[in-house]
Every structure is written in structure tokens, then in C-alpha cells.
Amino acid sequence: MSNQDVQLHSMRLPVLTVDAPTAVFASGQLLSLALNLSIRDICLFNPVLRLSIRHPGGEMHLFGSDTHESQLFYPWLPCGEYRFNFSWPVSLPAGCYELCIGWGSVDEVRQPDVVLPIQVQGELEINQVLAATWYPDENSKSRINALSWQKGMSNWFHRHFCHAALVIGESFLAKTPQLQGRILDIGAGEGITDLGLFLRYRPSELVAMDIVDYFESLPRVARENDLPLDALPEGLTFVQGSCENVPYDDASFDIVLSWGSLEHIVGGYRRALDEVWRVLKPGGLFFVNPGLFYSAYGSHLGEFSQEPHLHLKISEEKLRDLVMNSRPDIMDRAGFDVSNADYWRFYKELNIIRVAEFEAELKGYGYTIVRAAIRASEMVEYSTELQSHSVLDLAVEDAFFTLKKPELPGV
């Protein structure tokens, strides 16, 4: 059995049941169903309920509908019981049919979980198939409306658990099968993105590494954001230590990740890049997003001022006074307490990274670039203090790279 099979086997799949409808309908009569979805794992991503009607034993669908048609788009639903109602004015000619109902996701259309025989009687009075309606019952609606992702990108947890995990997995790693292998995240921070990646892609193992143990608070942070997590899932491992000394053998990971961590490595990041190259398997992928010092908020001090490039406009003495004597707006720490002195230390430890120089360093190892992207400001408002800086440094806010380590000869 492969690692992927083991992981998929360990998932507790949802259970869908249907309150049996009346078996006989007149054409034009409202067909109403109540569907009960029991999510038994930690969460279910992008759930979709689907219903179709076919001739008995047939393969062609005469009618099909799903929850998206009623604008029920759910990034994820946590473990629990949900009840949805479906209604449709029957618009089929007289005859015997099968009602096929199942759960799935945006990417997965499964075989029906429930197949019910129905009979339609009477003359068909219309020549078109009418639209169906889906809606959750009041209890389910109330619970769904309270979920963290309802707040959109303004919600810190949603940005990291959903958005960042999707940016990595879907955009930059393009859902590669290597996502089901062994993954290492260096500078994992509080681990919310790692949790999103692990639950979504089910790797055989995901090792999250950081010099600070924020992971001990991950279950609490998850529960506070509606995700019922009592402990780290089996296969999601935290290792406390410096990513300059990764305690794993050569060529032991299929994928290595680094999002916004290299700029924080005290004394430089070259040793960490050496370690990434060492532990990455031939043909393995390295996703990296370095923090860029000269970007609008490259100081990582946005909690103290929203003025772009402030750290390049005022003296270090004035910047230190602002940081040490202001109350930070904790907008990016998942509720962790960080002192003013810590903020200043973080700033002073930052590595100065520019995109062109960093790209050259990566190519120097022998990587090939699989895909890359930059995110830039629409406009840079120059001041006297910024005249000596290149617009390429000031305007580029983010740089993303997916790199591939060469395969062994003959592979």
C-alpha cells in the first residue's frame, strides 16, 4: 500500500443520508428533499452536494443540479452535522427514474451515495427543465455563517489556512503528486498554513521546522477559528531548531517550503539554502517566497505604521522610538503576544534581500525555475529620502519561485 493510500485510508469520509421522498410525483409537482451531511474528519474542503436524475441503470443524466447553483460556496466546513434542503418542480415526462445524490468537492465528482427510485405521472406541461433550489436549514446556516472564512481576506486565519495553502498547492506547486510525499517547511511560524496544506493534500508527512515553538498553540488557535483540532494530526510533525541545521538525511524530502522565513534567519540565509539543497530529493521541488527589505512594508513593522517605506524615510533612531513607544496593532501574529523589544529585534535581524540577486543565488545551486511570479505596487510615491533607491526594489512587494532540483543522470 502506498503512502497516499495510507493517508486516504486514514480519512474519515463524510456520510450522506436522505430523508426518503414520496416515490410518485406528478409532472410539475415540487420534489422536496432533506439531505443530511455528517462530516467526520476535522474538516471537508470545498464541499458540493450533487443530485441527478437518470433512467434506471442508465448513465446519461436527464437532470442535474448542485449546491453551487444556489451560490452555496464553502471553502471548508468543520466536523459536524449539516442539513440541506433541495426543491425542484418536476419537469420530466411520465416514466420511471432514479434519483442519484452524492457529496463531493469542486475537484472530485464521486459515485452517488444514495440512489432512490421515483415515478413521474401525468402530462409534461412545459418544454424546459426548471431550476432547482438548495439551502441549509436554520441550524446549519447559523453555524456556517459564524465560520472564520465568512470574513474573507480580512481574516488572518482564513488568509493563511485557505489562501496561502492554495497559493502554494494549487498555483505554485500545481497540485503535483509530490504533495502526497514528504514535505519540509523551514520557518513554519505558527503552522496554520502547514495545517491547511496537510489537511487538504494529505502528504505522507509534513515536517514544520522553526526556532520558536508556536506550534504548541496551533490546536487552540484552530479551535478559536472554528476548526475542531484537539492535537496535531498524525503525520504533521513540528521540529524546533534552526533551519541552518536540518536533522534529516540527504535527499529525504519531495518538497521544501519557505514562505517569508529566509529574511528572519540571523546572520544570513545561505546556510539554510545549503540545507534545502541537501535534504531535497533529486527532482524535488523548492517553493520559496523571501521577504523583500525594500518593499513598502519590508520592515515587518506594519503593526506600527501603515506608511509605505517608512523604514527608508526616517532615521533608525526615530524608527526605534516609534517601535519601542507605540502600541502595536497585532494584525499578523495569530493572537500571540510579541513585545515591542521583540519587534525591534526582528527588524534589526532582517536580511536585506533583492529579487535579482536572490534569483541568481538560486540558479547558482543548479535549480531550474519551474514557475515564478512577482506582486508589485501599482504606484510608488517617491520622497526625497527614496531618490537613491531603484523602483525595482521599492515596487516589488513579493517574489515567488518554484524550483526543481535536477534529476539524477539516467532517471
Domains of the chain: 11-145 (2.70.50.60), 148-298+350-404 (3.40.50.150)
pLDDT level of residue 123 (50, 70, 90 thresholds): confident
Residue 402 clears pLDDT 90, i.e. is over it = yes
Summarised one tens digit per residue, pLDDT across range 9-55 is 367 899 999 998 788 988 888 899 999 999 999 999 999 999 999 99
Query: Quick one: pLDDT at residue 243?
Result: 92
Average pLDDT, the chain: 92
Reported as a pLDDT band with limits 50, 70 and 90, residue 8 is very low
Query: For residue 12, what are the contacts with CB-CB under 8 A and spacing of at least 6?
Result: 40, 41
Q: Considering only residues 125 and 229, tell me which one the structure prediction assigns the higher pLDDT.
A: 229
pLDDT tens track for 89-108: 988 889 999 999 999 998 88
Q: What is the 3-state secondary structure (H, E, C) of the chain?
A: CCHHHHHHHHCCCCEEEEECCCCEEECCCEEEEEEEEEEEEEEEECEEEEEEEECCCCCCCCEEEEHHHHCCCCCEEEEEEEEEEEEEECCCCCEEEEEEEEEEECCCCCCCCEEEEEEEECCCCCCCCCCCEEEECHHHHHHHHCCHHHHHHHCHHHHHHHHHHHHHHHHHCCCCHHHHCEEEEECCCCCHHHHHHHHHHCCCEEEEEECCCCHHHHHHHHHHCCCCCCCCCCCEEEEECCCCCCCCCCCCEEEEEEECCHHHCCCCCHHHHHHHHHHEEEEEEEEEECCCCCCCCCCCCCCCCCCCCHHHHCCHHHHHHHHHCCCCCCCCCCCCCCCHHHHHHHHHHCCCCCHHHHHHHHHHHCCEEEEEEEEECCCCCCCHHHCCCCHHHHHEEEEEEEEECCCCCCC
Res. 4: pLDDT tops 60: no
- Report pLDDT for 5: 39
